[in-house]
Structure 1
Amino acid sequence: MTSPAEEPGRGAMMPSEGEAALREELAQLRQEAGRLRQLLEIAAQVTWTDSPHKGLVPLSASWMAFTGQTPEQLRDKGWLQALHPDDRERTRVASERARAENQPFLARYRLRRADGAYVWMLARGAPIRAPDGTVREWVGTCVDIQAQALGEERAAFLARASELFASSLDASATLASLANLSVSALADWCIVDVLHPDGHFERVQVVAADPSHSALAATVQRLTPVPRERPVYPPAVALATGRSTLVPELTDALMEAVAQDADHLATMRAVGIRSLLTVPLLARGHILGALTFLVTTSGRRYGDEDLHFAQELANLAGLAVDNARLLQGARDAIRLRDEFLSVASHELKTPLTPLSLKLQALSRAVKAHPDSPLVPVIEAHVETGHRQVRRLTELMNDLLDVSRIGAGTFRLQREAVDVAEVVREVAARFAPRFALEHCDFRVEAPEPVRGSFDRARLAQVLDHLLDNALKYGAGTPVSVGLVVDGPMARITVRDGGIGISPEQQPRLFERYGRAVSERHYGGLGLGLYLTRTIVEAEGGSVSVDSRQGEGATFEVALPLTRP
């Protein structure tokens, strides 16, 4: 019987089977490695490997294909030169920190393609260790995140644009902000053309990213985008028809086709336009202007996504410009109204003067014939006439004051004043009117209470408050009080009339503000507005405490001392 070792050929078979198994295992590993490499290349635009040993060239065929760099250009961290200049330093620091700590590397940067355009990449790298724990090589990927980064940039840009538009209600400032914000972020040049409400066109803003182009920018601004009957120049198309224009690649032949004249063509050539995008500024169905963005220096070319974004930006700008124009229109209308009120007040006061003189003459004539039976009747009519003239004069003066406030010419003439004396004088003037209405009227004013005020304006404040108390007091008792509270003088006017609901009180001191219907109570709604204006100009404040049906208390606080 022979042993297995002695069997013919038995010993020779063992190594062959082992080699076959090893070869099969290696083939499977190569197949798996190939499959993983294919998956990696599908998942990432760029893959790379790098040795930690100095002087060795990184192995990265996909990097070189993407960036156009040569193996020699990759030596000594030459790969950093393919990054956007603004991203190089922070990427270098992050890479060196990861290598020093033998930790994974993660960074976002803009990588230059072979055609010169920059693409946002998310770069990841990891060390591969030898059995002894040392780093044998680094491997990594670069994944294209251009769409994500562009979306983030544009969302932030629109948010910033919205803030700028909201911060100004001036159309010119809005368009200037838009042009300066757009340059560099969206374009090398930004041109803003405006269609004014009167129908004429104006080029209001031309901004170039390169400050050395300021003279050329001035030349571009002098070009007027007057639309022809069938316009072809993109800004003219937007201004005339409201249509957008997208030119991904602007050729010289196309410039010749759209140029309005020889000077225009020469200027476009001097600018060196490579890609162009024009969108209209629209609001409420009206064309307000046009935005034009130009690419002149980079490999960037405008596409449909850029057009969509530019239209979003133009919509925001159009709304801001429209709001600014509406506000300016409202201001102009208010200015014209105030001018009319001023002129009307002067004109209406003109016949009041001779009318007042005639009433005075009639009063003197009546006194010259005291025995006439018509004296009581005439005197009553004369007094009524005087009262109505005074009322009309007060209304005219209120209108004049409103126009002065609007024009910024409202002034105070301060002097040493005894506030208590002014309170008693005004109260004495109102006492007959309260007596006529059978209204109990009380005045409490210590003396003296001295300060520096405009005496006539202070009397005007009391006039308005007492007039209100008489009008809305509904025959209830009215009281006027003056007290000194530290450095302040406090004047209160209290009635027990119809009162004021809480929701009406905030607008009570506004111009033309009313808490009641004008059909039941007369007046222009200016008394409390002028009261607030005068009191605040004196450095004080006015407030009201009231409940509907429970009367009202107005308080005026005035400083007795000034810095």
Structure 2
Amino acid sequence: MSTAPATTSILLVDDQPENLAALKAILVDESYRLVTAASGRDALLRILSEDFAVILLDVRLPDIDGFEVASLVKQRERSRHTPIIFLTAATDDLSAIYRAYAVGGVDYLLKPLEPEVVQAKVAVFVELHRRGEQIKEQAELLRKAEQRRRDAEVEDLRRAAQARYQNLADAIPQCVFTAKLDGSVDYVSSRWLEYTGLAFEALRGWGWQAAVHPNDLNQFVSKWRRCIESGEPLQGECRLRSRHGAYRWHLCQAVPERDVWKRVVGWLGSFTDIDDSKRHEQERIHLLTRERAARAEAEAAVRRSELLAEASSAFSASLDEASVAAALVRIAAERICTWCVLDLRKEGGACRVAAAHRARDAARFAERFGPRELPLAEGGVGAVLTSGRPDLRVECAPRDVARALDIDDPGEIQELGASSYLCVPLVTRGNVLGALSMVWVEPGERFEPPDFAVALDVAQRAALCLENARLLRLTREAVQIREDFVAVASHELRTPLSALVLQIQGLTRAIGRADGGLPAEQALAKLAQAEAQIERLTRLIDTLLDVTRINSGQLELSLEDVDLCDVAREVAGRLESELERAGCSLDLDVPESAIGRWDRLRIDQVITNLLTNAIKYGRGKPIQMRISVDGKSAVLQVMDQGIGIAQEYIARIFGRFERAAPTSSYGGLGVGLYIVDQILRAHGGSIQVESAPGMGARFQVALPLPPRAAGSPGPRGERPGSPLTGPAG
């Protein structure tokens, strides 16, 4: 047992120094430690800083009286049991005495003090204080002994539990571990050591990471650290390497161990082998995925077959190109997209021919994108029409669609909406016939690979039907042209034959009436008329033969040095009588010569056909024929002021059996300009025409000249050729 402290603290409170001195003299003792305070505030500060065995407190103090000081001392838990002896010089104030006991005083002494009484009373309280301290010390020793006993029992229980826990951890198939607060491993079960083949020292701390698959390590460790920081349980999967080097999937589960204050003090976890179940689950998911994909593919194939069957039926319902185009945009808008437009290629560009919207009136929507000409631009629809490659934009803005469709006002597409765009070509037999542009409107809608394949199939079928419709139209046109040609050819051939028959019959009757005495002049006149009809018939036959030769590729040229000016003069002289009958004057403006390597008869045929056409269509109007040389070519121009040619016919007049004027008003087989064009192509030359209705026509022929020898003079009369600027007038 320990002894009491060597000194005991006693607090003396009085505002009079002589009273404090008297008290210190009365209570002088080596075992006492006397502490003085001259005011109530000072006394309270002393009491707050240390404990006292007894307090001798004067009732009357200058700032706070002794009763208030006592009341405050008793309100404090630590000092409420400290005995207070009040001191006062008032001998007859009983209320003060009652009040002193009421605020917790243990005694009340009157001044002047009797030393023996003061010493005795203080000694009693000091002794009580010392014994109380001894009791506290003994209680603390007993408490510590009890705590040591309990700690020993707890430690024994902990060791027993730990041994049991380790035995349990070694008995289960999982790899069990414990970790410190920072996540470093401080225990692993024997299953860990058996599975990994590593010693515990290699796995201690963070060494266990060596057993984790490199591809899983970063993700697993990051998750483990997050759980350590948050105190949340861990559940994650990773692959662990066995002692044989094979990796197997394990499920790691770890929970925090907490003390009575719910603070994390460590971690308890395990690794469970799930490799077999994971492989089985993966196989099940794989089979399920394949089954769903097969089912979706089958359903898509059924829908695709139904769509293609519907498309084929709709396309084949009519052999008209416009009907096929309308059916195509209707089916696309109903089954593939929200709205679409169709562009078809034509000579030198394209034409927007049809449009449809899923939720809008077909006629009004088609008018919005009504038929209009389109240039073959480098991007958008033009690129698809040129290259034959689809254009897919899974996500796009309305301005992108407006640019792709060559629409000047993006607001028009903004009003319709556009979120995804697909343009597929219509290709058949290697030729791009057109392009179908399809648009989804809602943000969540977009073109997927199945849509892409279906759109290509539908476009291909539509292209085939459009091509068949076009071929049917061309066939019908060809049949009509053939019938028209047969009718015209029959008429053209019958006219000279009929005239020839009439001339011969007239001659026969005249000879019969004259009994063989028909004058020679009359006979020769009849024969000359017959010869003219024979020549006309011969020209018609030669023309037909030329068409046959050109079609079979048997047009042969006999090249020689030919003066184009001489040929022009000869043709003009030969057709002088026809010019007179038609009432046309000919202004022949040619240089002295223009010599090149050409086929004279074919060049004669070219000039004859051009001048004959000018006479036929410019009857009663002057005709001009000019020849010039520009150094590389000889240029022939034939200009009339006749009926002219409409713009839509200019590209067609050089075709076989094509005519720009009705047969009923103007005769001919419709092959003259076709022969001219083919003859010029065979010479390496070209022909151009400019005309307008009622403004006449200007035909310009360019024939290549042979390269000049060094220092040799050019053709006589050479002068620059005038450009083809407009119709003659």
Same-fold call, TM > 0.5?
no
Higher relative contact order (CA 8 A, sep 6+): 1
TM-score by length of 2: 0.32
* Higher radius of gyration, 1 or 2: 2
